[in-house]
Copies of this chain bind each other. A is one copy, B any other.
Amino acid sequence: MRAKTSRMPAVPDAAVGLRADARQNRDRIVEVARELFADRGLDVPMAAIARHAQVGIATLYRRFPTKESLVTEVFADQFEACVSVLDDALADPDPWRGFCTAIEKVCTMQAVDRGFSAAFIAAFPDAVDIEQERDRAIQGFAELTRRAKETGRLRADFVPDDLALLLMANSGIIAESTEAALAASRRLVAYLLSAFRAEQAESLPSPAPLNLHDVLNSPASTPRPAPQAGTSPGDPPQSRSRNR
């Protein structure tokens, strides 16, 4: 399975029939977008991306019809990196160590890259090939969890969905500077890994509050226009005459 080496750009699939200059532009767009997303978060305006990539907005939008599609493309390989972190973890002869380092690595990636964190937690609503990877990742982590429990180092009442908990918690750690975020994330992860160890099995409250599948998929806090409490239906004017 997965014959292709799968790592690095390797022609992003959608950039095949493009004219040379067009492709160069496309590449620069993605590159610039990745950088901007990383340190300003997902809500940098499309205009800023275009400007930094030195193309017109139109060009940007022809290549990526919607902002979401750009986000998806940009983070597709970041997600793949996560998957390969998991592969490494599964390959580790010591499952507990694999478990710990996998979590540490992914959380570091999250802490270092604002946009990645947001995109990761938020939405890959379409992204077909990602969807596949995602399921593989979930299964892989379940397997890793099982093995780690088998060694007796991971507490028995840990559930794979707790990873969702951890990822969301870690995503809350967003400091002014990247360094601070990284340090904070590291300490949080250290605390949590310590809590995951089998030794102190003080009973935990509920078994599975958040679903890992959802966290890695459902649309959530993406650039989407935000909850919207305005003119939307279900917001009746409610009479209460006064004045006039």
Task: Identify the A interface with B (CB < 8 A).
Answer: 21, 36, 40-41, 43-45, 47-49, 51-52, 54, 121, 162, 165, 168-176, 180, 183-184, 186-188, 190-192, 194-197, 199-200, 202, 204-206, 209-210, 218, 220-221, 226-230, 235, 237-238, 240, 242
Which of chain B's residues have a CB closer than 8 A to the CB of A218? 176
Copies in the complex: 2
Contact residues in B for A162 (Cβ distance below 8 Å):
187, 191
Contact B168 A184 (CB under 8 A): yes
Known A229-B36, A229-B48; contact A187-B205, beta-carbon cutoff 8 A: yes
Contact across chains for B173 and A187 when beta carbons are under 8 A apart: no
Whether B191 and A210, one on each chain, are in contact in the complex, defined by CB atoms closer than 8 angstroms, is no
Residue of chain B at shortest CB distance from A47 = B230
Beyond A165-B184, A169-B169, A172-B168, whether A227 also contacts B190 by CB under 8 A is no
Residue of B nearest to A218 (CB): B176
A47: B residues at CB distance < 8 A: 230
Query: Complex formed: what's the CA distance from A7 to B150 in Å?
Result: 52
List 11 A–B pairs whose Cβ atoms lie within 8 Å, in order of A's numbering: A41-B226, A45-B228, A47-B230, A52-B235, A52-B238, A121-B172, A168-B174, A190-B205, A191-B195, A194-B200, A200-B200
Question: Nearest chain B CB to A171's CB is how many angstroms away?
Answer: 5
Give 7 closest A-B pairs by Cβ, nearest first.
Answer: A172-B172, A183-B209, A48-B229, A195-B195, A44-B229, A184-B209, A169-B169
